[in-house]
Amino acid sequence: MGDEQNMRRIFRFDGAGQGRPVTPEDVAARGPDGGWYWVHASRDATGLADWLHRDLGLPRPIIAALVAEETRPRCTAMGAGVLLILRGVNLNPGADPEDMVSLRLWIEKDRVISIRLRRLLAVAALTEEIEAGLLVRSPLDLIALLSDGLVDRMGPVLDGIDDRLDELEDRIIEDQGSDLRGELSHLRRQAIILRRYIAPQREALMQLLTYGSTNGTLVTEEGVRDRIRETADKVTRYTEDLDAARERAAVVHEELGNRLSERMNRNMYVLSLVAGLFLPLGFLTGLLGINVGGVPGVETPWAFTAVVVAMVVAGIVEIWLFKRLKWL
C-alpha cells in the first residue's frame, strides 16, 4: 500500500467546494452533503488498473483508455461519464517542452479520476492551492482549473519560440546566420509537434461542454462553462501562433538558403574573374617556358624585364576590359 499511496492523491470536496485529502479507503464513503471526489494517480502506480476496477468500479474499457500508452487530446461520452484527454507542455527539469505530457480524465457527476504519465506542474500547483483553501465547487469547475493551468503554461514556451525566431532573423539580416540551419530546423520541428497536440484540445474542450449539457453529466453554473470556452479560445490563439511560427521559420530558412547561395555565387564569380585574368598571362609564361630552341630573348639581358612589363600591361588591359564589360 505504501507505493500506491505515494503515487496517488485523493481529495474529497464538500457541497461548498472545500477540499481535503483523504485515503483510498474513504472514496467509497460518499456522504449526503452533495460532495464529490478527485482521484489523481500516476499511470505507473503499482496495481493501478486493478484498484480502479475493484475499488472504484470503473469498467475495463475506460481503464484501458486511461492507462493507454499513446494518447491524443479528445473527448468521448461513455455511459454516465465523459472521457477527456488533454496535454500539457513538459516543464520538468531536463525535459523538452514539446515532449508533451498527457492528462487522462474520467468525469462523472460526483467524481473525477485523472491519470498522468509524468509530473505536470499545473496539477501540482492546483493540489497545493486546494490544500491552501481554494474552493472547487464541481467536477466541471475542476476541469476548468486544470485545463486553464495546462494552457497558461504553454504561453511562455510559445513566446520563447517567437523570441528565438526574432533573434535568428536579426542574425541573418546582419549576415551572421551561416550556421543556423540546424537551429531553424529544430524550431520548426518543435512548432509542428506542439501544434499536433495543442490544436485538438479546443475541440475536446468544446465537446466536453456539449456532452455535459446533453446528457446532464456535468451540470454546473454558466460562469464555469464560460471559463472553459475562454480556455478553448486561448488554445485557438496558440494554434494560430504556432502556425505563424512555423511559417516564419520556413521563410527564415529560405532566406538563409538564398543568402548562402548568393554568397557562394559571389565567391565563384570572383574566382572566375581571377582565373580569367591570369589565363592569358599563364598562357604567355607557359609559351615562353617551353624547353626548346628558338625561344626569343634567351640571350638578351633585359628580356625578362620586358616580359614582366608586357604581362603587367596585359593585366591592366584585361582589368579595363572587364570594367568596360561591367564584369567588375
- pLDDT given at position 177: 56
The verdict on 219 and 311 lying in the same domain is no
DSSP per-residue codes, 139-207 = HHHHHHHHHHHHHHTHHHHHHHHHHHHHHHHHHHHTT--TT-HHHHHHHHHHHHHHHHHHHHHHHHHHH
Rg (CA), the chain: 35
Predicted structure pTM score: 0.75
- pLDDT given at position 143: 92
The verdict on 32 and 97 lying in the same domain is yes
Could you tell me which residues come within 8 angstroms of residue 296 by beta carbon, excluding any fewer than 6 positions away? 303
Number of domains, the chain: 2
The verdict on 6 and 152 lying in the same domain is yes
pLDDT less than 50: residues of the chain:
1-6, 31-32
- pLDDT given at position 219: 55
- pLDDT given at position 231: 93
Residue 271 lies in a domain: no
The verdict on 120 and 232 lying in the same domain is yes
Encoded amino acid at 242, one letter = L
The verdict on 208 and 315 lying in the same domain is no
Domain housing 297: 289-324
Could you tell me which residues come within 8 angstroms of residue 37 by beta carbon, excluding any fewer than 6 positions away? 10, 11, 12, 13, 22, 27, 30, 110, 111, 112
Between CA 215 and CA 98 the distance in angstroms is: 35
Which helix H or strand E contains 1, and what residues bound it? none
